[in-house]
Chains A and B, each alone.
Chain A
């Protein structure tokens, strides 16, 4: 099955100080250890391969579950700081063991299934929401040599498993057999289906530039340097800047985070599709949501922020996966910042913003990327590219915003059913 054809070559390690080289290879350590033990014990090849795969999967899951615990604490602390509160500060120093306490609380809670619920679907939904998040995390390139599964069609795989999230959110809301979950899941479907369009379309420019859907080669393409020091990240090109911003906004919406957290807006519909869940199932939803957040932020980093590549030439000696996780921290903190400062949008604003603003802009990035590509490399060609593509993107942007502000924005919202 060439679907799983992978295994990155570890032999060409970079020339760097020993400590950095060791750190660079650190994520592969468990994997290599298993391979070595297998070799020593003359294990059959298929067993060694299988164990190696399992171990590399376990590394990814372990790393991101740790991140999940940390981020759930950091999120509460950051929001508390923004809102002039203390946040969790009872369990351990700086509230550091709060995730442990939360975990114990979640695991020991009673598991309640409503009477009117569809029992089987109610059980399946939380499991189905974790699976795509974990699968999507498996194809991201975290470092030069740390690619858990190197697929030729990695980007497509990412979006394909991402489509499962919508369905599982819907199942969760529908199977609960009550009103708020149903409302939440309908909101979630309309939001996620709509925002998937700008997400996919703005990724097309990247595919056009790289000429490949393989995520490692997309990063490879961005890890060169122009004029010796400026990195070749996609966000530093006009189409990449527009596409990146659109992609980032769509990421926030896909992850159901504030200001697009209508599907689970606490003040409106309790917790949306998660309302009727308790105990470990609720924890699974929470986990799936955060893992999905990491996955989609990781994809944003991979497509537009250069993945594991260093921002400046001469900084490559730092292990590549440290750059990736550094960028991940920046993206997640930006999302927390947005959550702390923005207010939740209304449903009609949400849809108008997507269909009338994000999708036209993301469509514009495709011809812009084409123009940029035909302008070629080099200083003058770069100037020409900027000169041509900037008006190409800015003028429609101005037209769209003017039309949206003048014509299409209703003075007051019309309430059809609640008068």
Chain B
């Protein structure tokens, strides 16, 4: 319990830092710190599988994110504080507000119910998780896959565009 009270402020601080830092690499590294602290939180709560997956996926993903951020921003952008231009803030809000709404809705939905606290997450079967992931939640998994592919292609296009302009 004490660990939670130490961890959660650290997670929030790291996340705030990730937003606040102007240099993309600093922001990405703080994001990695925040996400791996969330993984530690999962481990402490007894969700071993989730915690390890969180750690491996997000730390690896942040490494890729850094590469892409270096590809699609030019060195001069680092000092210009690209993230604080009005149009960037507007685009960020358009992306962030729906996500926040969904999160608030789902958290408020689960606060009242008791079944969440009763089931022990450490007792689940790995095979059960796999089955539900690829049957019940298959549309969500596929949607995420499509979204990630779109992001990759978009980043590649951006990078290519910049290179052509410079040469």
Contact = CB atoms under 8 A, between A and B. Distances in A.
Interface of A: 1-3, 121, 151-153, 156-157, 159-164, 166-167, 170-171, 174, 186, 189-190, 192-193, 196, 213, 416-417
B133 interface: no
A163 B66 contact: no
A256 to B, nearest CB: 15
A197 B25 CA distance: 24
Task: List 4 A-B pairs, minimum CB-CB distance, nearest first.
Answer: A160-B56, A163-B60, A163-B59, A160-B52
A159 B55 CA distance: 10
Nearest to A174: B25
Nearest to A186: B67
Contacts of A1: 43-44, 46
Contacts of B44: 1
Interface in B122-149: 122, 126
A419 to B, nearest CB: 10
Contacts of A174: 25
Given A152-B48, A153-B49, A160-B59, 11 more contacts: A1-B44, A1-B46, A156-B49, A156-B53, A159-B56, A170-B63, A170-B66, A171-B29, A186-B67, A189-B66, A193-B63
B26 to A, nearest CB: 9
Contacts of A196: 60
Contacts of A166: 59-60, 63
Contacts of A157: 52
Contacts of B56: 156, 159-160, 162-163
A153 B43 CA distance: 12
15 contacts: A121-B29, A152-B48, A153-B52, A159-B56, A160-B53, A160-B55, A160-B56, A160-B59, A161-B55, A163-B60, A167-B32, A170-B63, A174-B25, A189-B67, A213-B126
Between B62, B66, B122, the greatest number of chain A beta carbons within 10 A of the residue's beta carbon is seen for B66
B133 to A, nearest CB: 15
A164 B43 CA distance: 17
Given A166-B63, A167-B32, A417 B46 contact: no
Contact of B60 (A156, A190, A193): A193
B64 interface: yes
A121 B66 CA distance: 15
Interface in B50-100: 52-53, 55-57, 59-60, 62-64, 66-67, 70
B167 interface: yes
Nearest to B43: A3
Contacts of A163: 55-57, 59-60, 63
A193 B64 contact: yes
Contacts of A164: 59
A157 B52 CA distance: 6
Contacts of B52: 153, 156-157, 160
A153 B52 CA distance: 9
A369 to B, nearest CB: 15
Given A3-B43, A156-B56, A160-B56, A167 B63 contact: yes
Nearest to B163: A416
Nearest to B32: A167
Contacts of B43: 1, 3
B95 to A, nearest CB: 25
A151 B60 CA distance: 22
A192 B67 CA distance: 12
Contacts of A167: 29, 32, 59, 62-63
A162 B57 CA distance: 11
B71 to A, nearest CB: 9
Contacts of A190: 67
B126 A2 contact: no
B64 A189 contact: yes
Nearest to A193: B64
B29 to A, nearest CB: 7
